[in-house]
A and B are shown apart, each in its own frame.
Chain A
Amino acid sequence: MMKRTTALLVAAAMTTASLTGCGGNAGNGGDESTNPEVKSSGGSSSDEMVFAWWGNQTRNERTQQVIDLYMEENPGVSIDGQPSQFADYWNKLATAAAGNALPDVIQMDYKYLDQYVENGLLLDLTPYVDNGILDVSDCNQDVIDSGKVDGQFYAVCIGISSPALVYSKTVAEQAGVEIKNNMNIEEFLDTCRKIYETTGYKTNIAYTDNEPFMEYLLRAKDVTLFEDGKMGGEAADYVEYFELYETGLKEEWLIDPAVFVERTKTTELNPLVYGTSPENMSWCTFHLTNQYSVLVGSAAEGNELGMLTWPSDNVKKSNYLKPSQFLAVSKDAKNPEEAVKFVNWFNNSVECNNILLAERGIPVSKSVSEAVSEKLPEPDQEAIAFVNEIVSPNSSKVNPPADAGASGVIDLLNQLEEQVCYGQITAQEAGTRLFEEGNQMMAK
């Protein structure tokens, strides 16, 4: 009898233990926002904020340092930094949104901004600008406006970048081709041909990073890729992009798409900087300026890199300054004012940006950008000069953020591009299918 009672007690203890274990997790889940009592006893102290971002090793380390600095300067505030990889980040964020458990401070991408605002997941920051907690007076108004949706201010841009065709100066010199900014498509194709003939190096046209370049080409024709819940222009407009691949495939200077199946998609394994022979390397890559220093860092010795504008038949119309990243405050934030204060500090503090070192793009605040730029390593300074001197005077306003449904279309674009590269369909078919099926997806 005694034994049985003991067993029972043990079991009861185990049950409680395991359930409190679960309870900690469940506290972050569904009921939190509807039940204020649960909220305050959610395991962590009420001042604890969560800041989530996507990034790479360098960014994660620097951001954590910045968080530590902020907590030191503001005793009583505690911030939990949660980094992820880009693709996983959005899966995680969407799931958190479904459970009403969004992080307080969210790193936002331009492409996703509309979706999150439409579903009422972000806090309107306009009142905080009005009462002075959030100071954006030192920033370019156009850039600040890119964080607005329907006239309300939801996200603070924390870095500017622009498209950049990063290329190997070494290979170009070997081939003896003249490389210049603002190439048109024909000049670009000629360069690809000549480099392949003389050096054997192949070309990677934005494979798997295709949507920005497609958008870039369409902009030259005054067509907006994603526009009011549909795809802009007509089917014929979309063929040009695929034709580049078709041409490259026929003339053999296009890099074998198999290369991309074999490699994990990281900057360090980009065919521009990684490969065993010219056969599986590319002389250029379609990137953004803020990735330039990582590429330079990954390039083998003796492979000198440079930056050019992406080719287009009308670079002025095509090119743009991209607000590369934003900070937003979620509507679930427990203490919105504290969260906004942190965002403000992130944006305006020289001390903070001296640690971040423009890794997310050029700081938006002018005084911060000036103070930081001297401290940057050379590739980053080069990138800043490129954005300010080459792109800025010869560009147009960035496209509005994409609607929901765009991610399905981008997947379709990936598939069609792959089929063109494997010789399954023609560029004509690919362009038509992208436009028609894409529009069906958007209409849903």
Chain B
Amino acid sequence: MSARRANPHFRAELKKEGKKMNQIRRFANQKHTAGYVFTLPFIIGFFMFMVVPMGMSLYYSFCDYDILSPPVFSGLDNFRHMLTDDTFFQTLKVTFFFAFVSVPLKLLFALLVALLLLKNTRLSGFYRAAYYLPSIIGGSVAVSVLWKRMFSSDGVINSLLQMVGINCTVSWLGNTETAIWVLILLVVWQFGSSMLIFLSALKQVPASLYEAAKVDGAGPIYRFFKITLPLLTPTIFFNLVMQMISGFLAFTQCYIITEGRPLNSTLLYTVYMYQQSFEFYNTGYGAALAWVMLAIIGLITLVLFATKKFWVYEGGF
């Protein structure tokens, strides 16, 4: 050992190594390094489970791929096929109807309930939790199954109607006119998360504004439309964008409750995509459908942002 240490060559090496260690130490002590290392699990996960699968899906969308045999490049065939696929247009129609009806209804409910829960009473904490509950459990399979039972012709809904004297034997799910509304109702029922966001926004409206308005003789309705609503527009906008996106991506409700029946009147886009990919083994076509959906959602979000300047108030209080 000592002989080696005496060796000037070895000394130089040791020095070099020491320098290296110093470099590593310096790197490790830099401010942003810990940040990077902490986010590493997410970054690696994001690449493995998001970026790579997305890249593969993009590739498959240009392929004739049936999962079982290897994909064969087929250019734009999948996208061309969409133009002649009646079911594709049907699902677009259903999905747009579903999203454009359920989202505004949901926001309306969320806002109304938020206004009701604004008052601080002893039970308001409980009510807030209670109204938020559907948002947590509403997307689950169990609730979908329950919903399906409730709306069957011998289910709770019809029994309740019969109790109050309306002799109703409508098959809500079996009827092309009503089936989609059952799904919409389930989604609207999950207004909790929008409600919480509204609630916190409502609390930020300064009381002084209301007081000033009261002094000027403005009634409650006038105050709501002239003070509350304008100041809420940024929150409404945020909720609208988020809910619109999730509206277009709704899956569980349709998949569990109706499977698109009757007559494809409730066939949501994502369920059709799933069917094509994994039930009919047209995975390439399914991937193409997914990318078209991405484009559609992107476009709608873009349009929403473009309308922002006409109705969203972004000044201070």
Contact = CB atoms under 8 A, between A and B. Distances in A.
Interface of A: 1, 4-5, 7-8, 11-12, 14-15, 18-19, 22, 26, 87, 90-91, 94-95, 97-98, 115-116, 118-119, 121, 256-264, 276, 280, 404, 407-408, 411, 415, 418-419, 422, 424
A14 B38 contact: yes
Interface of B: 28-29, 33-34, 37-38, 40-41, 44-45, 48, 66-69, 145, 148, 151-155, 171, 173-176, 179, 258, 261-264, 275, 278-282
B174 A22 contact: no
A257 B264 CA distance: 14
B34 A94 contact: no
Given A8-B33, A11-B40, A22-B45, A95 B67 contact: yes
B280 A257 contact: no
B48 to A, nearest CB: 7
A79 B75 CA distance: 43
Contacts of A407: 279-281
B255 to A, nearest CB: 11
Given A5-B28, A261-B262, A15 B40 contact: yes
A261 B67 contact: no
B129 to A, nearest CB: 31
Contacts of B148: 262, 264
B261 A261 contact: yes
Contact of A258 (B68, B69, B173, B278): B173
B193 to A, nearest CB: 27
A7 B39 CA distance: 12
Contacts of B67: 94-95, 97-98
A263 B34 contact: no
Contacts of B44: 15, 19, 22
Contacts of B280: 407-408, 411
A262 B152 contact: yes
A262 B151 CA distance: 8
B263 A418 contact: yes
Given A119-B69, A404-B66, 17 more contacts: A1-B29, A5-B28, A8-B37, A11-B40, A15-B40, A18-B45, A22-B44, A91-B278, A91-B279, A115-B68, A257-B262, A258-B153, A262-B152, A262-B174, A407-B281, A408-B282, A411-B275
Given A94-B67, A257-B262, A22 B278 contact: no
Nearest to A10: B38
B152 A94 contact: no
Contacts of B41: 14-15, 18-19
A415 B264 contact: yes
Nearest to B66: A404
5 contacts: A18-B45, A119-B69, A258-B153, A262-B148, A407-B281
Contacts of B264: 415
B144 to A, nearest CB: 10
A26 B45 CA distance: 12
Contacts of B176: 422
A258 B154 contact: no
Contacts of A280: 153-154
Given A411-B279, A422-B263, A116 B40 contact: no
Chain A interface, DSSP helix/strand/loop, else mixed? helix
A258 B66 contact: no
A256 B281 contact: no
Which of B258, B263, B264 has the most C-beta atoms of chain A within 10 angstroms of its own C-beta?
B263
B173 A262 contact: yes
Contacts of A22: 44-45, 48
Contact of B173 (A91, A115, A261): A261
A260 B179 CA distance: 13
A334 B125 CA distance: 57
B38 A87 contact: no
Nearest to B277: A91
B162 to A, nearest CB: 13
A300 B64 CA distance: 49
Contacts of A14: 38, 41
A415 B87 CA distance: 11
B261 A418 contact: yes
Contacts of A260: 261
Contacts of A261: 171, 173-174, 179, 258, 261-262
| Closest CB pairs A-B (n = 9) | A258-B174, A11-B37, A262-B152, A258-B171, A91-B278, A18-B41, A119-B68, A94-B67, A11-B38
Contacts of B275: 411
Contacts of A12: 37
B281 to A, nearest CB: 6
B262 A95 contact: no
B293 to A, nearest CB: 20
Contacts of B68: 94, 97-98, 115-116, 119, 121, 404
Contacts of A256: 171, 174
A258 B28 CA distance: 66
B262 A258 contact: yes
A18 to B, nearest CB: 4
A263 B153 CA distance: 10
B274 to A, nearest CB: 9
Nearest to A1: B29
A404 B40 contact: no
Contacts of B279: 87, 90-91, 407, 411
A418 B265 CA distance: 12
A404 B68 CA distance: 10
Contacts of A259: 171, 174
A94 B281 contact: yes
A98 B175 CA distance: 39
A168 B28 CA distance: 78
B303 to A, nearest CB: 33
Given A22-B45, A408-B282, A15 B37 contact: yes
B23 to A, nearest CB: 15
B278 to A, nearest CB: 4
A282 to B, nearest CB: 15
A14 B34 CA distance: 12
Contacts of B281: 94, 404, 407
